[in-house]
Structure 1
């Protein structure tokens, strides 16, 4: 089968199409004929080796994390799916990739594709949907009436997280460029800061939750908009000791991550805020709940561009520019 393969980490990384063997499945896995793959920023970072201490791949390996497709084979212990089912899933952090004609998916990571979405739309959802769900619903426990700040509202995670926060009953603030103000308002954002004209920390006040999505000094600046008993959930770091413990890392890595996050944790504590780092994990049952929201029209996919499979490298390069409004998707079939 054809796959987009990472052969060697580096800048530039060695990425190329190759013919590889169709993968075999274990009893608790399904084999999916991939129709579409949603790309995420981490898919452009992994090839550079930025996550080598955390994510472990046996190179060469197929790239890609999200997918939508049709079940081609089921393992002997699989009970939730059958051959011919249309499914979507994230296989991030599972050691395999989705930018291939077939992909192995644990039964526990997959969900039935929402019936009102095509494969391209469904493939755009898994990682951003699970990330927003785990950050806002599980970690931050957002309640109706709370104020949630989601920077970079027009990006892949932002467009989904704004909609989920609104579904949870929150009031949402975000940042975006002038041309995307209408987009984020249509998604439900209540307070929109055009970052080309204003600094968000000079305008926003009394927020309960900050979702950290932008590198640089944005997290430190966000401390100025938080109230007491608030939460910062960061997707971009710094990783903390709790994250190291959750992955079973050794004492040295726990100490390193503890040092990396100590300053921000202390600054947050001074204003009564709690900081934590979130690394998304695949979860088919959560994805099924997200699928129900999509089927009910509570949340809608936002897609910037669709590339063919042959253009997958160009799609990754386009995503890396950081200008996409919503998601970038590769269509295989």
Structure 2
């Protein structure tokens, strides 16, 4: 066959063919897409290492999605995102990508998730020495005929001190002090001035806020970070002087918290600091503590709509439903 004849033969569009089984698929897409994003923050441009996931639904008569279009849309959207914003908005980029992916793929629904690692500089608690802390920022968006739902989240590490072990140590210390002739009043004064020992965990807190299609509210990532870090016994710092180390340890032991306490404190922070958000706003608070005296780790989580937890706080009754992240993203009618 001649070269010209070969060139004139067009390869069939396999993706345009009918599938062997005409059944729709919930999600089809690409994962592990890594990009370096340049964003202007606090007047200076910074680089962020980001990982993206992009999905669309697939109709029963469509054999496959056009995978190359995902990469094209991601590159186009990154170039179109405005760099002049004061703070990084992962959910802004996710919204741009989701809306363009849905259009390019001809899908009813598109979902995009972005995970970005970025630095923050903060002073150590006593010396004031500047230390660089690395945080994780999450941004998700689901684009459909109803509009685009946005989800913004953060993850931060901290330190917790175990209340149970502390109570046990305090009880045995009290017995020894009484046996040595100290009065009850003297013992109470000692415990007021000297934090009691306990075992510690390094904790990882994650907090997400989800905004429905009709919302144009803004959720600052820094506010979420403040809530997460304040929910634990103490913040942690990569670089500290000895005075800083003493301050962190003492602070943690003066406010011991279980993994469950950390989640409840995150819920408190969301309710107090986002009182302006509607009842149909989604939230998810998760805490993982890496144990030091056990082989296992411990987890706690609360998720649902703000309206659910507000009613629970007002009435004191357990909420019968906790809307999950998947259900909220899917936009079930009963949650709209």
In the superposition, the TM-score normalised over structure 2's length comes to 0.24
TM-score (norm 1): 0.24
